[in-house]
Amino acid sequence: MDQQAAKVILDGNTYELPVVVGSEGERGIDISKLRTLTNYVTFDHGFGNTSNCLSAITYLDGEAGILRYRGYPIEQLAQYSSFIETAYLLVYGQLPTSYQLSDFSDLFTQHSMIHEDMKHLFNGYPSTAHPMAILASMVCSLSAYYPGIDLMNPTQAQFDQIAVQLMSKIRTIAAFAYKKSIGEPFVYPEENLEYVPNFLNMMFSSPIKPYKIYDEVITALKVLMILHADHEQNCSTSTVRLVGSARANLFASISAGICALWGPLHGGANEAVIDMLEAIHRDGGDATKYVNMAKDKANTFRLMGVGHRVYKSYDPRAKIIKKCAHDLLNKLGVNDPLLEIAVQLEEQVLKDPYFTERNLYPNVDFYSGIIYKAIGIPKDMFTVMFAIGRLPGWIAHWKEMIEFPGGPKIGRPRQIYVGSNQRDYIQINKR
């Protein structure tokens, strides 16, 4: 690693801090010794300028709109790869050989069922439960089903086993959560179905009505899952790393990531986009009115699916997903007025100085909900779909953190205290 020094002058003293240079030329000032040297900490609200790790998983250039997994452009992976192959790439760092891929796929099939006892856990939830609440707790509950494995410190073989089991079981848990919410019997995974069609079958078939799986739907869902598979140090992935840095097990760490993803400023935005488009539709379909509301600083309304912490140009995933949404709706013959409203919003956002000056562009969630909706996936399952897609990335980051030379360092940010100075306690009857 190429290292140069950065100079910091504080209270008249000059300190040298090392510079870390990444493989794409990204530069960072290593401030880990700053407090010891100077008694100063850095202040970075929302971590907008802080690297918490060295990572070899995903490269993202938000200015140029570039996203690559392990060096491979997501455009190529979305077009040519499968979700399982991309998952292998993210977790293990290399594309698999055909033997490795077939072995990996077989493991998904072998481990697709969840323990029968876990089925009872679903009954504890009211039918109104949000599937993200069920998903987060079920994934954490999986830690209870591996008594023979030291989950805090798994061997390589044990990690391989729990990682693939989690990736396979999450879609079964997700589909069961949905079936529970609509009061239908659970549909078990099938040995002869691949990852995406197996999930669709568990979601939509019933004992009296088999589900016809269209190739176009499989393709659209596969593309969405690949595009969601990783996004470097976003809120949920950072959560997985932070929780895992305390040596919490993989299931507990991923469960925490699922909770973070649920928020509407993160993965929950896909649900919020459809809520917004439906509201605009109900209100007569006037996109301009809502664009103006979003620009009005006296109004807290924001255009959901627009803007991103790191993309300051068009989100490269949104480009692919937009085309995918148009193709799927055309093929399925679905005429969705929400797509029309989305197109109008996007056109205005792309030419309005409020958005262009702030580098606000449609993000990955802007069109994904329209695809999910066309497939028949209910709105409260959208973020669950995101979680299934993001799982390989979370696992890859947890693995990378655990395997970091010297072991993980517990995440523990500093703060600048701005509360009361010391004051004496006064008993309640004297206040």
Residue-wise burial string across 95-120, b where 16 or more C-beta atoms lie within 10 A, e elsewhere: ebeeeeeeebbebbbebbebeeebee
From residue 104, alpha-carbon distances to 91, 187, 225, 226, 251 in Å are 12, 23, 17, 17, 20
Strand order in the sheet with 72-73: 58-61, 66-69, 72-73
Told to judge if 115 belongs to the known catalytic residues of this protein, a careful annotator would answer no
Instruction: Tell me the closest approach of the beta carbon of residue 190 to ligand ACO, in angstroms.
Output: 31
| Rg of the chain, C-alpha, whole Å | 23
Nearer to ligand ACO, 189 or 307 (CB): 307
Q: How far, in Å, CA of 168 to CA of 188, rounded?
A: 12
Q: How far, in Å, CA of 37 to CA of 162, rounded?
A: 42
Instruction: Tell me the closest approach of the beta carbon of residue 73 to ligand ACO, in angstroms.
Output: 19
User: Rounded to the nearest 10 degrees, what angle do helices 382-402 and 269-282 cross at?
Assistant: 160
Decide if 287 contacts 344 (C-beta within 8 A): yes
Q: Which of 85, 271, 365, 400 binds ligand ACO (CB under 6 A)?
A: 365
Pick out residues in 298-357 that bind ligand ACO (CB under 6 A): 302-309
Instruction: Tell me the closest approach of the beta carbon of residue 332 to ligand ACO, in angstroms.
Output: 25
Told to judge if 120 belongs to the known catalytic residues of this protein, a careful annotator would answer no
Nearer to ligand ACO, 308 or 322 (CB): 308
Nearer to ligand ACO, 78 or 360 (CB): 360
How many residues touch ligand ACO under the rule CB under 6 A: the total is 18
Nearest to 368 by CA among 397, 396, 390, 400: 390
Nearer to ligand ACO, 107 or 306 (CB): 306
Helix (H, G, I), strand (E, B) or coil at 192: coil
Instruction: Tell me the closest approach of the beta carbon of residue 2 to ligand ACO, in angstroms.
Output: 29
Helix (H, G, I), strand (E, B) or coil at 409: coil
Per-residue string for binding with ligand ACO, 207-246, x by CB under 6 A?
A: ----------------------------------------
Nearer to ligand ACO, 197 or 268 (CB): 268
Does 294 bind ligand ACO (CB under 6 A)? Our answer is yes
Applying CB under 6 A, the span of 121-129, 212-220, 237-245, 265-273 interacting with ligand ACO comes to 265-273
* Overall size of the chain counted in residues: 431
Out of 365, 380, 397, 424, the active site residue is: 365
Out of 111, 228, 266, 308, the active site residue is: 308
Q: How far, in Å, CA of 263 to CA of 85, rounded?
A: 29
Structure-token match 């938000």, residue found: 62
Phi, psi of 11 (to 5 degrees): 50, 35
Does 389 bind ligand ACO (CB under 6 A)? Our answer is no
* Closest residue to ligand ACO using C-beta atoms: 307
Applying CB under 6 A, the span of 37-45, 360-368, 396-404, 416-424 interacting with ligand ACO comes to 360-368
Instruction: Please report, as ranges, the residues that interact with ligand ACO according to CB under 6 A.
Output: 265-267, 269, 294, 302-309, 358, 360, 363-365
Give the residue numbers annotated as catalytic, written as ranges: 308, 365
